[in-house]
Each structure stands twice: as structure tokens, then as C-alpha cells.
Structure 1
Amino acid sequence: MTSAVPRAFHCEHTRAKSRVYALVERSGQPATLHAVLTCTDPAVAQHAAYLLSSVLENGLGTAARAESERIAATRPPPPSAVRWPMS
């Protein structure tokens, strides 16, 4: 099994929802998009994509962790088996 590596994060907005996608690469395979966040507030989605891109480039520091917790607090409770941000 090859490792999946996120390379970038992008947003898609419709009237009903906004989604954040991860552009994921696997060795020897074409890059694919994977949804990582769906919400109703486009600003939250944009901010989440920016934060994820920042973490990808700079790592998860104290400020990024605090900001991810702030974003998570704006979301409705996740289904019982899923937690965001993932630890």
C-alpha cells in the first residue's frame, strides 16, 4: 500500500454548502480530491482551507492548534464515530 500525501487544500462553494477538499497524491497514481470538511458558512470553509494549507507548510504549532479548535467549535456536533480535528 502506498502512502497518501496531501499537497494542497481547495474550497468549493454552492448555495447550500461549502466543502474543503484535499488534493492527495499517491506514488505512481494521479492526484485525487478528497472532501475533508463540509459546512454551510463559506468563510469557515475558506478559513479552514487556509489553516490546513498553513499546517501543511509549517506544521501544527500552538497557534494553529488553537485556531483549529476555534473552527471546530463553529461546527455542529459530528456523528458519534467521527471527531474533528482528528488527532
Structure 2
Amino acid sequence: MIKDRSNLSFLFLTKRIDRFLACIPDDWQNGYDNVTVCSTIENQLTADYRLSIFKNLPIKYKCITAQPLLEEINIEEYLDNIR
């Protein structure tokens, strides 16, 4: 449906970015033009774990959200190619 509805934009937020490759369709390649994938983080531990995976995934449009933000975090090293 997402591929067929290219006139709509889709935003996926996930705390399980480590499962991403197991869940994408066969024709995903680097992503669809109408899909943004957002990895959520809560603290420095989850930021370092999830974003180290996220930065290498084949996703055309990426974003990061901190919710709930439980402590001060530094994510500067993960911000390349994030929109």
C-alpha cells in the first residue's frame, strides 16, 4: 500500500531499529521516496546502540527523536545524512 500511495508521505517511528532489515519489502533498495524512518532514543546508552545501527541502514530519509528524553545525550557523531 505504501508503494502504491506515492501521493502520501509515511513516517515510521521505531525503538526496534535493529529489526529493520528483517521487516522491509524485497523492493526497498534505499527506501521509497514517500517514507521517512525515525529511530527513537531515550538516553545515551540507547542512542549509541540504536544510532550506530541506524546510520548504516538503507533508508532514504532518516530522522531521530528523543522520547522520552531521560538524560542529557550527545548524538553529534550520528547526524550525517539525517533530515
TM-score (norm 2): 0.28
> Greater helix share, 1 or 2?
1
Compare relative contact order (CA 8 Å, sep 6+) and give the higher one, 1 or 2.
2
TM-score (norm 1): 0.27
> Greater strand share, 1 or 2?
1
